[in-house]
Structure 1
Amino acid sequence: MVFTLYKRLMRVGFLLFLVTAALSFAKAPHPFFVSVTEMEHNAKDKTVEISCKVFTDDFEKALTKMANQKVDLYHPKDKTQLDKWVTQYIQTHLNIMLDGKKMPLQFVGFEIEDQSTISYFQIDGVSVAPKKVVVDNTIFYDQIDKQIQIVHCLVGGNRKSSRVVYPEERLEFSF
């Protein structure tokens, strides 16, 4: 009986330790630096839909540096201006070529999800599924030398994924 009570107390103590540790990490800066870009060819709409997910605090630092003023993604003072800065930053640091042709990214919008910011773009007029996709991704390379870029690319139901680590920037997918 004493042994059973001891085991229960140890379990409770361990659970309290885990909860405390988790909460302390939630307040601390994240220990890794990664962006995740998802691309999907939408044959019906003749577009390539793109989402780019990054840590919000890193994005605010990058936008603040670019805009030469404090940028707050959670509580923007001027949403129109913020949309322009998000567009400018991503279009500068994410370049996509489809079958050898550099494609313009059209800004759709962005949203905050927990500690991440997801920005949405699309490429119009892609009536034929691309055979080769080249992505040059330098998001946060101007401020973080441990940055990892993960890219998922879906064309014709075929999903391919790859990653690069600073200073590498180019990913190539063949379909």
Structure 2
Amino acid sequence: MRQKLSIAFLFLLVLSLTSFTHPLKATSSLIAFNADSKTIKVECKVFVDDFLSSLGRDMNVNRLTKKDKSVIEKYFDKNYIIKVNGKKNPLKFDSSEYSESFNLLTITFQESNLNLKKGDKLLVTNTLLFDEFGFLQSNRMELRFPPFFKEAYFESTKVKDSFIHTF
């Protein structure tokens, strides 16, 4: 009897551990400013299952349709805000790369013009996946803005977190 309970417990433990896709709820992104061309480039990595769940739709990440790209742009427009002096910098989908072995989707946005000067104020707000996962979610960002600063790291762990910098 004791052995049957142990086997049942072990089975339930294995079942409960495998029913979750992964315990880490995180995104990672890079925001890079090119001082020569005065452009900004944004790249973001998300776990595919979490991202699709947050989008509330299924899509073939190996072959995104025009509609899929539009849905991704709208989601980022709402949840990934980059403002300079209060003016929003829109993100336009450029490309994506899916790594099935890591369950990872890398989304790259088109470079956009950004003429920065001393005294300008940068605000970055990243609320990706917070609607879906709340306090479990963490969004890590690396910001590169030479010549103003080489690298800065920021992590949002709640909806009200923002990175603010005056150049």
User: Structure 2-normalised TM-score?
Assistant: 0.75
Cα deviation per residue 1:59-83 (whole Å; 9 max; x = unaligned)?
A: 11122x1xxx433324x4x622211
Q: Using the alignment, how far apart are the partners of 2:126 and 2:35 within structure 1?
A: 24
Query: SS of 1:31's equivalent?
Result: coil
Are the equivalent residues in 2 in contact too, given 1:150–1:162 (CA < 8 A)? yes
Deviation string 1:24-46 (CA, Å, 9 cap, x unpaired) is: x8995111101112100012322
1:87 Cα offset (Å):
1.3
Distance in 2 of aligned mates of 1:97 and 1:123: 15
Given the superposition, is the C-alpha separation of residues 103 and 166 from structure 1 closer, same or farther in structure 2, using an over 3 Å criterion?
same
Q: Which residue of 2 aligns with 1:108?
A: 94
Matched, 1:99 2:85: yes
Letter in 2 for 1:118: T
Q: Would the alpha carbon gap of residues 129 and 121 (structure 1) be closer, same or farther in structure 2, given more than 3 Å must change?
A: farther
What's the secondary structure of 2:60's corresponding residue?
A: coil
TM-align CA RMSD: 2.4
Q: How many residues align?
A: 145
The answer to whether residue 47 in structure 2 is matched with residue 55 in structure 1 is yes
Give 1:119's match in structure 2, choosing from 103, 107, 118: 107
- In the TM superposition, structure 1's runs of 4+ consecutive aligned residues that sit over 6 Å from their partners are none
Q: Which runs of 5+ in 2 are unaligned?
A: 1-16
Aligned to 1:128: 116
Counterpart position of 2:145: 155
Instruction: Please list the CA deviations of residues 126-175 of structure 1 after superposition, one character each: whole Å capped at 9, or x if unmatched.
Output: 13357432111111111101110111110115100011212433222344
Alignment check: 8 A CA contact 2:127 2:156 kept = no
Aligned partner of 2:6 in structure 1 is none
Separation in structure 2 between the aligned mates of residue 128 and residue 173 of structure 1, nearest angstrom: 12
Deviation at 1:96, TM superposition (A): 0.5
Instruction: Write the letter of the residue equivalent to 2:89.
Output: M
* Contact residue 129 and residue 156 of structure 1 kept, 8 A: no
State the distance in 2 between where 1:100 and 1:160 align: 20
Match for residue 138 of structure 1 among 127, 148, 164: 127
1:59 alignment partner, SS class = helix
Query: Counterpart of 1:171?
Result: 163
Task: Give the direction of change, closer, same or farther, for the CA distance of 1:49–1:129 in structure 2 (3 Å limit).
Answer: farther
TM-score with structure 1 length normalisation?
0.72
> What percent identity do the matched residue pairs reach?
22
2:73 equivalent in structure 1: 87
Is residue 59 of structure 2 the alignment partner of residue 71 of structure 1?
A: yes
